[in-house]
Amino acid sequence: MLGLGRNKGNYPYATARVKAKKSNLLTQDNYPKLLMMDLNEIGRFMGETQYKTEMGELASRYGGVNLIELGTSRNLARTYRDVISFTTGELRDIVVAYLRRWDYQNIKTILRGKFSGASLEDIREDIVPAGDLSEEYLLSLVGLDDPAEIIDSLKKHDIEFPEDISTLLEKDSSLAPMEDYLDKAYYAQLLASFKPKGRPKRLFFSYIEREIDIVNLRTLLKLKQAGLPLDRVKTFFIEGGYELDIKELNRLASIETFDSLLDEFSKLSFYEEIKEGVELAKQTGSLSGIMLSLQKWQVRQSEKFSNIYPLSVLPIIDYIIRKNNEVNNIRIIARGKAAGMDPDTINKLLVM
């Protein structure tokens, strides 16, 4: 259990630092302007914001959408590591535990790259060292040829794997078992990383449980639409949800038709928040609307929780989520511009 026998942390100082960082985030007024810019103009605009350092470092080697994506990734990692650096005690433990999702994401990125035969440079560019594992260590993993060596190295850094993972990888010739296990391991470790004592921690705990609900719903929708058999769909669910336990998720997964499954969503407490996306999925068969609705609801939840207890971990988590959302929005705009999409279409994909 993290934080036992240590001080509770520097909550007043850390939340004040985060409040200052929030003031540097792009405002909603910035996005309509970005939507009217071309890629070069977006790059110049970002060079005048909190992304200035990264854009300057990369401008001589990259341009266009690649410069924007790499600049935002590096800024995100630097920002998160800065947040870790000014937190102490139990507070730092909780922040690190939450940000370890990037460790797991980077592990999956490295393994995917190895399996697909991607170049070392391409894998390195996709790494976002925003978690507990250092960039130097992650790059050392990229240099290893055998996935078994990568796994053995990670075990020394408290990343656990099932005993038969190497056999599973060889048998399935895919990363599905590994990625499924890593997703479950992240949330299991996060929920076990602190005791939900006191209302602020209980609220944070319930926020994570709601996040698990969203992850499971997204998984359920994608796998059901893809036509995976019930016994396979069940293996991907993560335990620990707030509103949807494993039994309920299995019941939903057993529903025969996709429209009937969507009808069941009306029973969710947050149905009104995602209703428009559900109706769009019924009409078009596309999941993009409901996936976007789920993401927007999650962002609103973090903001709501952070306002309840301003001197707790909640405002820090809210900032972490807002920062990641900002980076995603900038990337969506850049990719949309590169693909020739019109501003209105791109705008509908943004999470504001």
Mean per-residue pLDDT pooled into runs of 10, the chain (352 residues): 61 96 94 96 95 95 94 96 95 94 93 87 91 92 87 84 67 70 89 84 90 93 86 90 95 91 93 92 90 90 86 93 95 96 94 85
Cβ neighbour number for residue 314 with a 10 Å cutoff: 23
Encode pLDDT of 219-244 as tens digits: 999 888 888 888 888 888 999 999 99
- Closest CA relative to residue 330, chosen from 31, 77, 38: 31
Domain 11-99+313-352, classified CATH 1.10.132.50, yes or no: yes
Q: Give residue 3's pLDDT.
A: 41
Q: Give residue 266's pLDDT.
A: 93
Q: Give residue 217's pLDDT.
A: 94
Burial of 170 by CB count in 10 Å (0-12 exposed, 13-18 middle, 19+ buried)? exposed
- Contact 123/113 with Cβ under 8 angstroms? yes
pTM recorded for the entire structure: 0.89
Domain boundaries, the chain: 11-99+313-352, 102-173, 196-309
Topology of domain 196-309 in CATH is: V-type ATP synthase subunit C fold (1.20.1690)
C-alpha–C-alpha distance, residues 216 and 140, integer Å: 33
Burial of 247 by CB count in 10 Å (0-12 exposed, 13-18 middle, 19+ buried)? exposed
- Distant-in-sequence, close-in-space partners of 126: CB < 8 Å, separation ≥ 6: 109, 113
Q: Give residue 170's pLDDT.
A: 63
